[in-house]
Every structure is written in C-alpha cells, then in structure tokens.
Amino acid sequence: MNAVGKMLIGLHLGNGYGSQSGAWRMPGVDPESYTSFDIRVKQAQAAERGKFQFIFLPDGPGAVMTDIETESPVFNLDVMMTLAAVARETQYIGLVATGSTTFNEPFNLARQFKALDIMSHGRAGWNAITSSGEDVAANYGKRIPSSQDRYGRAHEAVQLIQSLWGSWGKDAWIHDQKSGQFAKKDQILPINLQGKYVGSRGPLYIPPSEQGQPIIFHAGCSPNAHQLAGRFANVVIGAAFTIEDARAQRNAFRAAAKSYGRDPDEIKYIAGLMTTIAKDKRTALDRRIQLGGSSLIQKFEYLQKMLGIPLDLSLINEPISELQLENARPSPYDPRSSNALKIARQGWSVLDILAHGVIDYHPVIAGPGVEAADHMQAWYEAGAADGFWISPDVNSDGIDAFVDQVVPLLQERGLFHKEYESKTLRGHLGVPDQYGIDPRV
C-alpha cells in the first residue's frame, strides 16, 4: 500500500478511441475522435468525475506502428497541446505526458513542462524516458545511441531540467506595481551546467507553480529503469501480469530509491489494467469479439505457442478438448501463458479465450465492475501496486463505465478516495515537496 493510504488511479489516454484497435469503428464512436481536442477534454473530464489522480499520455514519435489502412495510430497528435487543452477545462486531475530525453533538448523539455505546470496550477507530470526504436531515431535523422549513452544522457537531462526548474528563486517574483519591482534579480540565476551529453546556461524564466515544479514519472522495468527511476522518479508506470511479478517490480524500484538515500514510499508503482466493463462476462466477451475482428484470428497462431499444443482453426468456436488440455504446458517465454491456460481450463471456446485478452499488453478485465474492483483490491493489498493506470477498450463509453461501476465499489471498500483533497498532482500522489534538484542525488 502507498503512504497516502489509498489507491492511486490514472487514465491512459492514447489516440482518443480506446486501447483496442477496432475502437474507432464501434457504434456510437465519433470516427474523427483522433483529431478532436474537444473529445479528449471530455474524456479527461470523465476521469476527473471519477476522482482519478491523473491522466497519462504515452508518446512515441516513431513510425506508424499500426496498419494505417484499417487502424488508427496508437499515439496522440501532440501530447503537450492535448494537455494544454485539458488543463483549461479541468480543475483537479493530474496531467502527465511522455517526453524523450534522447531526442529533445533539456531546455525545451524544461520550458514546456514548467509552462504546463503553471497553466494547470501545479498539475503537470513528466514521464521521462529514453527512446529505443530505430524508427524513432530515423525521424530525427539519427541512429539510436547505445543503451549506455541513452541512459547516461537521461541521468544528465533530468538533473539539468530540475536545475532549470529551480533556477527562478522560490520568492523571486515580486510583481509590485507600486514600487516598480518585477522580480528579485539576484534570485534568478544561470545554472551553467555542462555534462558529457547535455548542458545549459539557463536560467529558465518561469516562476514556481503551485506545486513548485512538475513530478517525474518513468515507464519501464529494466535495471536501467530501476536506476533512473530510483534516483529521480516519484511514479513508475509498470507492466506486470501476476501479483508476484508486480510485487517484485515494485520492490526493485523501492530498493533503488533507498539506494539513492530516498524513502521508498516516495516512489509509487502503478500497474496497468485494460478494461471491458459490461453487465456480465458474456456481454463483455461479445463486445471484445466485435472489437477484435480479424485481429483475434491473427492471434490464434500465437495462442498455440502459449499453450504448447496444436489447435484447429476450424474449431475456433469450440472449447479445447480435455485430452489436449492435459498435454498443455504454459510457455516459459511469456508470463501471460499460465493465465491463458487457466482460462482455457474453464471451458471457454478458443475464440472466447482470445476475447479474454490473454495476449494483450496488460491484464484484462472483461466482465462486471466487481471483477475489476476485486482484481485491484487483491493486487493493492498484496503490496503489488500503489495504484493502476486504466486503459478502457473504447473511451466513448468505457471511461464512464469504469467511473460508474468500479470506482464506487473501491470507495465503499475504503480503497479509493471520495474527494480530491488537493489541487496539485504532488498533493494527489502524496510525494514530498521538491524545488530544483534533489540534494540527495
């Protein structure tokens, strides 16, 4: 459990349609959601109605990673412009966006996120990551640097950016019209930092926000991620498929924070959860079959590898035979396999097994709201997560379904807050004050 004593919940806001590739074609979905900032604002307002602590916008300025002929791109048009639009139309919810340290200059990142923090009255968070794809590098006319160079640059960039954030003294802005003094000049100073990878003279000409400066997030689970997040981050966006895996990841980040002289409770581990909330399991699976379309058939091949048995495509609407299930063994190469076998043994058809989301990017809840609440409670109480970032299948009705059918259950169980107690993201997360660089690191 986290130090706030309550679960944290964030909303994953990607391309505007939802987490499933077929979301853009669902009845009731505006096919132009991809380019509508108004719809993105409405989705953020729905999450704020549910008292979510933040919305989270991933970003990957690489190739179009989908089949653009039939699917929308997975990312947002521009994460900072989207959050600026949302900032003007919401009051409480935290606004978190990804910004790569590999292909952005620290001064630009520092300025954009601090300006967003001012605009939102202290609700901004920066998901500081390194880019790892050659497709991303190609868009900048470069090759991907080595892991050592990417993370070396990242460690310097975060320190530089936090130094820039703190380069305008906390009490420097006077704006006294009578005396004519706008600011205390001796409190707004250059930082003059130059490392192996990045440097800046500074200062940044932006005063502190209501929370001082943005919160650092990090997404990833490698040893490099442990070091970067353990040193700088207050929140880690994770991916885990079992309580054991999530608990091990959370403990690794907490240990990394401790190794840098920080209190482990200063770092929150947020696990992913994909949701299809419906009145019953059958309705939810039918919705996911409609959403999945031919992509479910494409996953059929892979399901055989996960279970270690051959399957007959012509029998996709039949359960797997008892004899085959006796021979099935979960693949040691995919942590999702044991869950796939568990669902297969419940007697579902092969198509229904796939509709359960056994090959999705995070654990999937397809069923009534109580199933999602039970999953979240079990993980939270087992010390596997401080909270969850939710990816609804279809945003247009899936966010509201979660807010109306899952959030009240979590609140009744005393696991999730009923009201915002703060107006800043720092307050929502219960992380300590920080202005400028952390003197401990």
Question: What's the rounded mean pLDDT across residues 131-149?
Answer: 91
pLDDT attached to residue 63? 61
8 Å CB contact between 112 and 153: no
Distances (CA, A) of 331 to 154, 309, 338, 359: 35, 10, 8, 13
User: Model confidence at 295, in pLDDT bands (50, 70, 90)?
Assistant: confident
CB atoms near residue 33 (< 10 Å): 21
* Whole-angstrom distance, CA of residue 361 vs CA of residue 430: 28
Cite the DSSP H helix spans in 205-242.
223-232
* DSSP element (H, E) containing 158: helix 147-165
Q: pLDDT tens across 202-240, in order?
A: 999 999 999 999 999 999 889 999 999 999 999 999 999
Give the helix/strand (H/E) hosting 43.
Answer: helix 37-49
Question: Are the beta carbons of 142 and 153 closer than 8 angstroms?
Answer: no
Q: Are 357 and 391 in contact (CB under 8 A)?
A: no
CA separation, residue 393 to residues 37, 44, 45, 332, 409 (Å): 19, 16, 18, 28, 20
Are 392 and 291 in contact, with CB atoms under 8 Å apart?
A: no
Give the N- to C-terminal CA distance of the chain in Å, as an integer.
25
Confidence band (pLDDT; 50, 70, 90) for 9?
A: very high
How does pLDDT run across 235-259, given as a tens digit for each residue?
A: 999 999 999 999 999 999 999 999 9
Q: Which one has a higher pLDDT value, 441 or 29?
A: 29
Q: What's the pLDDT score for residue 440?
A: 87
Is the per-residue pLDDT at 3 higher than 80? no
At 263, the amino acid letter reads D
Rounded-to-integer distance, Cα 381 and Cα 242, Å: 14
Q: pLDDT band for 64, please (50, 70, 90 cuts).
A: low
Q: Quick check: helix, strand or coil at residue 376? A: helix
Lowest-confidence pick of 50-64, 159-173, 351-365, 401-415: 50-64
How confident is the model over 165-198, as pLDDT tens digits? Answer: 999 999 999 999 999 999 999 999 999 999 999 9
pLDDT over 90 (residue 135): no
- Chain CA centroid to CA 320, Å: 35
Side chain identity, residue 253:
F
- Contacts of residue 144, defined as CB under 8 A and 6 or more positions apart, other chains included, come to 102, 131, 132, 133, 134, 136, 137, 150
Sign of CA dihedral 124, 130, 134, 140: positive
**Which residue, chain included where needed, has tokens 């996953």?**
299
Strand partners for 273 = 390
For 365, phi then psi, to 5°, come to -110, 115
